[in-house]
């Protein structure tokens, strides 16, 4: 019950902040930091789909090293591709699952499990939200529903930002987001103080 209350509180805070934001950088940064903090996991990253290259490009991350983020191009066709087609996918052991594109990099980063959920905006797939844990984690239905709800809200918010700013494609703001994130790595967001949930299971 405690975990559910924390997740509900986090969702309300995110929804209120994002609903007032017209800044895509703020949207993605608040989203990944909120999920990382609420679930008390190693890290979280938000990817956008580059349809020209069929790659997932990082829009924002929290809790992950630059080395891991820059490990190489992430293929939308090879890296947990099922989550983009069929919905949320949980990977219990990154070192023993063929759906992981960079298993060695994940192990070096100290990642044990990954949850990947699609991000949809206006009915179209625009990216993926991924949660990374340091300990083996059997993701519960509550975990999946929480992350999926935040991912869906982020997708709607990004599309609103895109329309507000007159962008033609969500990916066009990606490079600017990444540059801004580098300069804001240590800054606080409204969610840094969100209470931490119960420890990871498994």
pLDDT at 188: 43
Q: Tell me the C-alpha distance between 189 and 202, whole Å.
A: 30
* CATH code, 74: 3.30.450.40
Helix H segments across 20-126?
24-39, 66-69, 82-85, 103-109
Please report whether residue 29 resides in a domain. yes
pLDDT tens digits, 138-155: 999 988 998 998 888 888
Domain enclosing residue 179, as ranges = 2-183
Please report whether residue 191 resides in a domain. no
pTM over 0.95: no
Tokens for 17, please give them. Answer: 């902040």
Helix H segments across the chain?
2-19, 24-39, 66-69, 82-85, 103-109, 141-165, 174-183
pLDDT tens digits, 181-195: 555 544 444 444 343
What domain count does the chain have?
1
Confidence of residue 197 (pLDDT cuts 50, 70, 90): very low
DSSP code of residue 154? H
Where is pLDDT greater, at 190 or 81? 81
The mean pLDDT of 37-62, rounded to a whole number, is: 90
Number of Cβ within a 10 Å radius of residue 152: 16
């Amino acid at each position: 019950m405690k975990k559910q209350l924390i997740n509900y509180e986090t969702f309300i805070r995110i929804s209120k902040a994002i609903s007032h934001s017209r800044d895509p950088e703020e949207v993605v940064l608040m989203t990944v930091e909120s999920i990382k903090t609420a679930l008390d996991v190693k890290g979280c990253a938000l990817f956008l789909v580059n349809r020209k290259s069929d790659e997932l490009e990082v829009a924002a991350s929290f809790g992950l090293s630059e080395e891991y983020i820059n490990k190489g191009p992430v293929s939308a066709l090879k890296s947990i591709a099922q989550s983009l087609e069929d919905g949320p996918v949980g990977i219990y052991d990154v070192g023993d699952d063929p759906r992981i594109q960079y298993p060695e990099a994940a192990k070096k980063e100290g990642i044990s499990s990954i949850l990947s959920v699609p991000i949809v905006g206006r009915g179209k797939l625009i990216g993926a939200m991924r949660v990374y844990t340091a300990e083996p984690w059997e993701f519960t239905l509550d975990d999946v529903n929480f992350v999926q709800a935040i991912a869906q809200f982020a997708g709607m918010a990004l599309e609103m930002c895109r329309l507000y700013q007159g962008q033609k494609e969500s990916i066009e703001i990606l490079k600017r987001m990444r540059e801004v994130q580098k300069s804001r790595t240590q800054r606080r967001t409204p969610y840094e103080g969100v209470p931490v949930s119960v420890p990871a299971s498994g």
